[in-house]
Amino acid sequence: MRQPNAIRRVFILGMDGAGNFVQQAHTPHLDRWFNRGAYTYEAQAELPTISAECWGSVLHGVTPDKHGLTNDKAASESYPTDSPFPSLFRLVRDRFPEAKLASFTGWNPINSGIIEENLGVHKVSLPDAELVPALLGYLDENPDVRLLFLQLDEPDGSGHRYGYGEESREYLAAIGVCDERIGSVLERLEKQGLVEDSLIILLTDHGGGGADKHSHGSDHPMDRNVFWGCIGPGIKKGRLSGTVTITNTAAIAALALGITIPEYWDARIPEGLLEGGENNDG
C-alpha cells in the first residue's frame, strides 16, 4: 500500500460521547471540514460502548478483548509497557525517537492509563475550557509535532447529566461548544500553514441514550453509531459508504506516518478512503 503523499504530521481530534448527534447539533466547523475530506455518520464504536474500551481501540488499533482496558483500569493503572498491543504513540516513538508527540485530554485516564508512560509524550489533562487554550499555545511553540491527540469530554458529561440524543437541548449544546473548540484548533492549523501536509481525523468514541437515556455501553445504534471524518493529502473526498470502525483510526494514522500497520491490528484502512482506490480492508 502506498503512503499518502506529503503528510508530515497527524492530528486526531475527538470529543467524548457525541455519537452521530452532530447531525442535529449546531456544528458548522465539523460540517465545513467534513466537506474537505471523507466522512461518515455511521462509523461503529467498539463494544462495550464505554470510553476506555473505545479510546483504547482508537489508540491501540485492536478491539477491547485484546487491549483489555476498562474505565477502572485506565483510572488506576498505567498501561503496561510490555503489552503485546502497544499504543500508536509507542509505535511512533519507536519509529521516530526524536519526534514530538502530544496528548491533550479532558478525561485524565487516557493520559494516565491508556497511553504508556515514559514515551516522552507531552501530556496535558484539564477541563475542556482550559484544555484547548493550552493546546493552541503548544501548537504555537511546536508546529513540528508529529502526532497530536485531543479528547474533549463535555458531551459525555452532559449526556449523563441531562440525557443523550436529539431531544436533549443541553447535550446538543455541549456538542456545539466542542465544535467551536475543535474549530479553533483547525483554524490555528490553517493559520500556521499546517493543513496541506497534515492528516486530520475528527471523531467521537461512542454515543448514548439507547438502552438508558442517561448512559451508554450497549450495542443500541444510539450508543454505537458515531461520526468519523478524515482530511488530508491522498484522502478521497465524499461520504464513505463502506464499514468504518473507530479502531480504523490507528491504521490510517500509521499509514500517514510511514509506519507499517501491524498484522495483529484489527485496524484497517476503510474501503474508499484513499484516492486511487487503494485500501487495506482485509
Tell me, what's the pLDDT at 40?
98
Tell me, what's the pLDDT at 2?
44
CA distances from 39 to 99, 142, 143, 201 (A): 28, 28, 26, 10
Question: Which of the listed CATH numbers 3.40.720.10, 3.40.50.300, 1.10.490.10, 3.50.50.60 matches domain 9-256?
Answer: 3.40.720.10
The residue ranges of DSSP E strands in the chain, in sequence order, are: 9-15, 38-44, 101-105, 121-125, 147-152, 198-204, 225-231, 238-239
The three-state secondary structure class of 227 is: strand
Spatial separation of the C-alpha atoms in residues 70 and 76, rounded to whole Å: 10
**Are 155 and 20 spatial neighbours (Cβ–Cβ below 8 Å)?**
no
Tell me, what's the pLDDT at 5?
53
| Torsion 139-142-145-148 (CA) sign | negative
Q: In the chain, which stretches have pLDDT less than 50?
A: 1-2, 280-282
Tell me, what's the pLDDT at 276?
81
**Are 267 and 251 spatial neighbours (Cβ–Cβ below 8 Å)?**
yes
The tens digit of pLDDT for each residue in 42-56 reads 999 999 999 999 999
pTM for this prediction: 0.96
